[in-house]
Structure 1
Amino acid sequence: MKALGWWLMLVGSLRLASVWFGFFDIWALRLAVFSSTSMTEVHGRTFGVWTLLTCTLCFVCAFNLENKPLYLVTFLSFIYAFGHFLTEYLFYHTMALSNLTTVGIFAGTSIIWMLLQWNAHQQSFKRQQQQQRQQQQQSYFLKQIFVQGNGKIGRVWRARWISH
């Protein structure tokens, strides 16, 4: 797994804690995120479901970095989350600066890293596809030698190909 994949796994794991707080410990969620406002249990559960979705995106994307639509949606989830928390701090005044800083570190790092790696995994995936096509072509070629050879040479070539 690539370093970005490990990072997304870490972020997804940390988001799981927020999911727990949203569903089962609204007081801790209020303290950790929305420290300047009151919250109801409905708000907590809504936050938990939304965070569970973004957590799922992180985990699935970590294992599928070459999937461009999934990569884009995961990237956008960081943009939306950071934008949401930024507006909560700037306009609604429901967050403390320290809480926004924590969110900003994780979201900002993820946004920048994913931007820097935007095409890197796609190119890696294309190389893998090319290698698979070459292997399929070589396999087909060697099968033809075996079928047409009907002799010792065809069997030797096929045996060498299979053993590698």
Structure 2
Amino acid sequence: MFPLSLPYIRGGKLPYWLLFISIVSIFNSFQSYQKDLSLTKRVYNSKPQEVTNLSARTFGTWTLITSIVRLYGAYNITSPQVYQLTQFTFIIAAFHFLSEWLIFGTTKLGKGLAGPLIVSSLSLGWMWYYKDFYVF
């Protein structure tokens, strides 16, 4: 389905970042289906009692869907539609984690929240800044 190497896009590194984030997210998604919820509870550390097997699997499914979109974004970085969909995955992720922190209080700023916030904001900024470089 996907070639072994990403298309060479004028020396850009963004497709490789998206591929890396996709692979990491796929593994994170699979861990959400395990009975051990300790990793998911690290993210939602203010109210870990609210993390259930059902919520973890739902989160894992959502993560898997975004991983697939980001994987397509890595391989189709010059497509405006795929580029925008990939950007939206980071917007939605940032919204989710920020709202869980600032509105719902299920997480607090720390190791569990820092990773998703850094990845979503870095990726979104990178994609916004370099859009004209990739999309033509």
TM-score, structure 1 normalization: 0.70
Counterpart for residue 95 of structure 1: 107
More RCO (CA 8 Å, sep 6+): 2
**Equivalent runs, 1:5-154 vs 2, <5 Å:** 5-24=15-34, 25-31=36-42, 33-37=43-47, 38=49, 39-98=51-110, 99-123=112-136
In 1, Cα distance between equivalents of 2:27 and 2:41: 13
Whether contact under 8 Å (1:57, 1:74) holds in the other structure is yes
Name structure 1 gaps, 5 residues minimum: 124-164
Larger Rg: 1
In the TM superposition, residue 50 of structure 1 has moved relative to its aligned partner by 0.2
In the TM superposition, residue 28 of structure 1 has moved relative to its aligned partner by 1.9
In 2, Cα distance between equivalents of 1:103 and 1:122: 26
In the TM superposition, residue 100 of structure 1 has moved relative to its aligned partner by 2.4
What's the C-alpha RMSD, in Å, of the aligned pairs?
1.3
In 1, Cα distance between equivalents of 2:95 and 2:135: 27
Q: Percent identity?
A: 28
TM-score, structure 2 normalization: 0.84
1:77-107 CA deviation, whole Å, 9 max, x = no partner? 1011101100100111111201222211111
Name structure 2 gaps, 5 residues minimum: 1-7
Whether contact under 8 Å (1:22, 1:47) holds in the other structure is yes
In 1, Cα distance between equivalents of 2:70 and 2:17: 9
The count of aligned residue pairs is 122
